[in-house]
Amino acid sequence: MIYLDNSATTQLHPEVLEAMMPWLRDRFGNASSAHLYGRQARVAVEQAREEIAAAMNAHPAEFIFTGGGTESNNTVIKSCTGESALADRIACSSVEHHAVLEPAEDCARRGISVRSIGVDTLGNIHTHELAECNAPRTLVSVMHVNNETGYVFELASLRGMVPDALFHTDAVQSFTKIPLDVAALGVDFVSVSAHKIHGPQGIGGLFIRKGIDFKAHQHGGGQERNRRAGTESLPLIVGFQHAVRIALRDAEQTTAHCRELVALMRSGIQERIPQIRWNTPVHAAPHILNVSFTDAAQLDGDAILQLLDLRGIACSNGSACVSGTMQPSHVLLAMGRETAESRAAVRFSVCRTTTTHDVLEAVDALSHIMQELRSA
């Protein structure tokens, strides 16, 4: 089986697993306890917090641990519009992850004003719509890298258009893959996750800019500076720390490797498969390539992924949160693609362990599948 769905999740790095093992076996203390076991755990949590925060140029006090990117996104949206009363309006791009769109929809059902900001056929945000959202007590959410297309949003520029609003970005697909500097970007909230960078599943983090009167929406303990109740998971936190450390250590090599593989896949598909449309721009995140088919109305779009799976190629047509339902991609629909084309799109995503052989095999499999479907 060839795994090309690294935007959904990544394989745990062997060095990360090795770093986690002592905390799974012997160092089992609760970081809130006052005895030796607890103090050891607290030191580990704070060291991890410091290292991960530094990776995005944040102060450790501005970073809390969460259960993942989805929790981080929900925390920002629901806390800002809940007890904190920081915002009574939400504006988010139409191509956000469902972990942003669905909490926003929930807020709309509770009477909070929610606006969707459109994009063009290339994925560029409609800046005139964004500028109209510049107002106090407004929460703007625009992701850093789109998880389906790899499009990179110029956050510093977009942030400059809404200086009076609070600004959140979902950086799950960008953290350690492209530069993420919270000070340079001027953002107020940033969501990140470990399992997209060869860390463990079930752990993520949230940057909250110092000075924001942010109140937790999860209660029951004073952990994470009273912003996220619940016993910290030492194995997962240490795993996250080492995943970030390794990703930054190998960033230049990994980025070059992924870009080379994506370029090889792009050229191979271009040469062998007609009637395609690239949904990933050339200047995109290094690890994602999304392609759809202009004759999709004549194809069984749902069959493409199933046939790739049968040929030993693991990939997707978009977010893993909905890919099992074979729904058309809301991202591609927002970019103006027809429903059939949005359903038939294929997203390949590579990583540090992906090989040239993997990519060539995937291109070959897709080429044969498209020939079969078009001749049926």
Q: Which amino acid is at 175?
A: F
C-alpha span between 94 and 244 (Å, rounded):
29
Which of left, alpha, beta for 153 (phi over 0: left; psi -120 to 50: alpha)? beta
Q: Which amino acid is at 42?
A: R
DSSP 257-304: HHHHHHHHHHHHHHHH--SEEE-S-SSS-TTEEEEEETTGGGS-HHHH
C-alpha span between 129 and 54 (Å, rounded):
33
Half-sphere CA count of 250, side-chain side, radius 13 A: 16
C-alpha span between 17 and 353 (Å, rounded):
16
Q: Is 68 helix (H, G, I), strand (E, B) or coil?
A: coil
Is 321 designated active site? yes
> Of these residues, 92, 107, 133, 321, which one is catalytic?
321
On whether the CB atoms of residues 135 and 164 are closer than 8 A, the answer is yes
Q: In what order do the strands lie in the sheet with 113-117?
A: 63-66, 204-208, 189-193, 166-170, 138-141, 89-93, 113-117
Residues annotated as catalytic are 321
